[in-house]
């Protein structure tokens, strides 16, 4: 018998609702797949508004201490006020625990009615760098002493042309950060028998940052994967490594999704493209993800807190449930994950779905978050 401890954070907004629907599905799938021999031991940690209400802190030390020793965790959405308030809790945890790879598989489920012609050809896994680029959080507000000082240095010392009233952000991208992200993507492609890895960048304009990401990705492939990885158009066998400029890639994944399998990209590009891909196959309500380092794998719902529908039984628990299925695959419990995927397809085929999916599926019946979870449970 194997018991795996999973630390979990309920999250803000719709967090409590999606967790209440998700955990029974995950537990039942494990029980059915392994006849009770395996089980998940859930240990709650506090973060966000629930933590503040109980401890006066949004990210208590006890939570951070527990995560520092953990290898598995899951979380619901945490609130990040736009333009004010505390620093993003999500970003803080990614940086503190060096969760440098945001991994999001995007695949079509039968029953979804998509805005594109061939959503069934969408089967991609996005590896998004998670600690550098804009998520490094180095920015200074317009008119602040820090912004003025930085602008004066850039103008006086380096000859830059920047208005003194500008808000300023710095976009750091390193060789080491880029290479470890690309390495994770290539290792995944090799292990899973995927045909290609595509480096997505805006290196034609941002030559030293985005262009650096591209160059360092190719360097890594040449240095560490000879005989296993081959550049697009070159002779040889193995996983094909290629690159695409970000704006062209947005067109390509719509028109030629069958040409792309694993995507490795910088932070901001990955944020955009993973959501755009999710929209082709049902939206964020069915989009799982994990933030992963070399020790801790932190699975999470990819949508936000959705405060306008919180407490109204309207949320879709699918993202959290499918993130749980990713966790099960990660620890080698793939049979339980397969049961969850089959249940999702069966439930979608019956057309009893939450409001976000009902708006996309003709002839569907809208059900609440709680009932959708119960349907997924019954269809295991």
Domains of the chain, first to last: 1-104+282-379 (3.40.718.10), 114-133+171-281 (3.40.718.10)
Q: Which of 202, 225, 260, 356 is catalytic?
A: 202
pLDDT of residue 210: 97
- Other CB atoms closer than 10 Å to residue 360's CB: what's the count? 16
Q: Which of 65, 247, 294, 295 is catalytic?
A: 247
Q: How high is the mean pLDDT of the chain? A: 93
Q: What angle do CA 286, 292, 294 make, to 5 degrees?
A: 160
Q: Mean pLDDT throughout 355-378? A: 93
What's phi and psi for 8, nearest 5 deg?
-135, 145
Residues 272-316 have pLDDT tens digits of 999 999 999 988 888 899 999 999 999 999 888 999 999 999 999
Residue 202 annotated as catalytic: yes
Q: Determine the Cα–Cα distance for residues 321 and 305; give it in Å rounded to an integer.
A: 16
- Other CB atoms closer than 10 Å to residue 123's CB: what's the count? 15
Task: Find out whether 271 is annotated in a ligand binding site.
Answer: yes
pLDDT of residue 92: 87
Task: Find out whether 104 is annotated in a ligand binding site.
Answer: yes
Residue 184 annotated as catalytic: no
Task: Find out whether 316 is annotated in a ligand binding site.
Answer: yes
pLDDT of residue 119: 87
Task: Find out whether 214 is annotated in a ligand binding site.
Answer: no
Q: Classify burial at 208, counting beta carbons within 10 Å of its beta carbon; exposed 0-12, middle 13-18, buried 19 or more.
A: exposed
pLDDT of residue 79: 85
Q: Mean pLDDT throughout 228-250? A: 95
Q: pLDDT confidence of 80, banded at 50, 70, 90?
A: low
- Torsion sign over Cα 360, 361, 367, 373: negative
Q: Which of 7, 8, 100, 135 is catalytic?
A: 135
pTM score of the predicted model: 0.92
Q: Classify burial at 366, counting beta carbons within 10 Å of its beta carbon; exposed 0-12, middle 13-18, buried 19 or more.
A: middle
E strands, 202-238, where? 229-231
């Amino acid at each position: 018998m194997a018991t795996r401890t999973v630390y979990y954070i309920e999250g803000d907004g719709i967090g409590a609702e999606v967790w209440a629907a998700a955990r029974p599905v995950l537990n039942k799938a494990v029980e059915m797949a392994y006849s009770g021999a395996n089980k998940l031991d859930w240990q709650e940690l506090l973060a966000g508004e629930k933590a503040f209400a109980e401890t006066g802190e949004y990210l208590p030390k006890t939570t951070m201490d527990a995560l520092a020793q953990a290898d598995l965790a899951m979380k619901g959405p945490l609130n990040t006020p736009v333009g004010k308030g505390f620093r993003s809790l999500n970003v803080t945890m990614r940086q503190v625990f060096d969760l440098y790879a945001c991994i999001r598989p995007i695949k079509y489920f039968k029953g979804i009615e998509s805005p594109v012609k061939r959503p069934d050809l969408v089967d991609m896994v996005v590896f998004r760098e998670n600690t550098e680029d804009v998520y490094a959080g180095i920015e200074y507000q317009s008119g602040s002493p820090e912004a003025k000082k930085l602008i004066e240095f850039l103008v006086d010392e380096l000859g830059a042309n920047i208005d003194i009233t500008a808000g300023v952000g710095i976009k750091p991208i390193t060789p080491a950060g880029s290479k470890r992200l690309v390495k994770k993507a290539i290792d995944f492609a090799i292990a899973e028998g995927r045909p290609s890895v595509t480096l997505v960048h805006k290196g034609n304009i941002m030559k030293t940052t985005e262009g650096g990401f591209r160059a360092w990705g190719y360097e890594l492939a040449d240095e560490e994967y000879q005989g296993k990885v081959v550049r697009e158009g070159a002779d040889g066998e193995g996983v094909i490594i290629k690159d695409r400029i970000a704006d062209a890639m947005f067109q390509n994944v719509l028109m030629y999704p069958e040409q792309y399998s694993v995507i490795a990209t910088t932070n901001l590009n990955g944020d955009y493209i993973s959501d755009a891909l999710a929209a082709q196959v049902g939206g964020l309500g069915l989009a799982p993800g994990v933030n992963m380092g070399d020790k801790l794998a932190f699975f999470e719902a990819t949508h936000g807190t959705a405060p306008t529908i919180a407490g109204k039984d309207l949320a879709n628990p699918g993202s959290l449930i499918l993130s749980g299925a990713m966790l099960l695959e990660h620890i080698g419990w793939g049979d339980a994950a397969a049961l969850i995927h089959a249940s999702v397809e069966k439930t979608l085929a019956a057309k009893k779905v939450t409001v976000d999916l009902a708006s996309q599926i003709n002839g569907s019946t809208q059900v609440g978050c709680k009932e959708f979870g119960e349907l997924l449970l019954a269809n295991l």
